[in-house]
Structure 1
Amino acid sequence: MIPAQNWYQKLTVQFADGTVEVLFLDMSLSGRHRPRPVRLPAQWTRLGFEKCSCCPLTMEDYCPAAMSLEETLLTVRAHQSFEVVTATAMDAEQRTTSVQWPLQQVGAAFVQIAVFCSGCPVGGRFRPMLRDLRVFATGRELSKHLVYKHLLQHRGDAAASAQAVTAALEPLHAVFTGLFKRLQNVPKEATQDAIPNSIVVMHSMTMLLGIHVDK
Structure 2
Amino acid sequence: MPHAESERLIAYRFTFADGQTLEHSVDLQGESASAGAAAWARLDFQQCPHCPLSVKDSALCPFAAALQQPVSMLASHASFEPVEVLVRWRDREIRQHTTLQRAAGSLLGAIGAASGCPHTRLLKAMAWFHQPFSGSDETLFRVLGSYLLGQYLRTQHGLTADWDLEGLRTVYRNLRQVNLGMAQRLRCAAEEDSSINGLILLDLLAADTLYSLDRYDGELDRFFAEYLEDPEGG
Asked whether the two chains share a fold, i.e. TM above 0.5, the reply is: yes
Count residues in correspondence: 201
Deviation at residue 76 of structure 1 after TM alignment: 1.1
Q: CA deviation at 1:75?
A: 0.9
Paired position in structure 2 for 1:197: 197
Q: 1:5 to 1:169 in 2, by over 3 A?
A: farther
| 1:204 to 1:72, Cα distance in 2 relative to 1, 3 A | same
8 Å CA contact retained: 2:110, 2:130: no
Alpha-carbon distance change, 200 to 153 in structure 1, aligned in 2, over 3 angstroms: same
Note if 1:82 corresponds to 2:85.
no
Q: State how far apart, in whole Å, the 1-side matches of 2:91 and 2:194 are.
A: 28
Percent identity, aligned pairs only? 21
Match of 1:18 in 2: 19
Question: Any stretches of 5+ residues in structure 2 without a counterpart?
Answer: 153-161, 217-234
Contact 1:133 1:142 survives alignment (8 Å): no
Separation in structure 2 between the aligned mates of residue 131 and residue 211 of structure 1, nearest angstrom: 25
SS at match of 1:47: coil
- Give the conservation status (yes or no) of the 8 Å contact 1:33–1:68: no
Q: What SS does the corresponding residue of 2:208 show, helix, strand or coil?
A: helix
Match of 1:145 in 2: 142
Larger CA Rg, structure 1 vs 2: 2
Whole-angstrom distance in 2 between the partners of 1:32 and 1:66: 17
Q: Could you list the per-position Cα deviations for residues 53-91 of structure 1 after superposition, in whole angstroms to 9, with x for gaps in the alignment?
A: 121111111111111111113311111101110011111
DSSP 3-state at the match of 1:49: coil
Where does 1:79-158 land on structure 2 (aligned, <5 Å)? 79-91=77-89, 93-154=90-151
User: Greater RCO between the two (CA within 8 Å, min separation 6)?
Assistant: 1
In structure 1, C-alpha distance between the alignment counterparts of 2:65 and 2:24, rounded to whole Å: 15
Tell me the SS of whatever aligns to 1:57.
Answer: coil
TM norm structure 1:
0.84
- Contact 1:74–1:195, Cα closer than 8 Å, also in 2: no
Indicate the residue corresponding to 2:172 in structure 1.
Answer: 169
Closer/same/farther in 2, CA of residues 192 and 129 from structure 1, 3 Å limit: closer
Q: CA deviation at 1:179?
A: 0.4
Partner of 2:227: none
Deviations 1:74-128 (A, max 9, x none): 311111101110011111x221111111100010123212321111111012212
Change (3 A) 1:132 1:100: same
Question: Which 5+ residue runs of structure 1 have no aligned equivalent?
Answer: none
Measured after TM superposition, the shift of residue 9 of structure 1 is 2.5
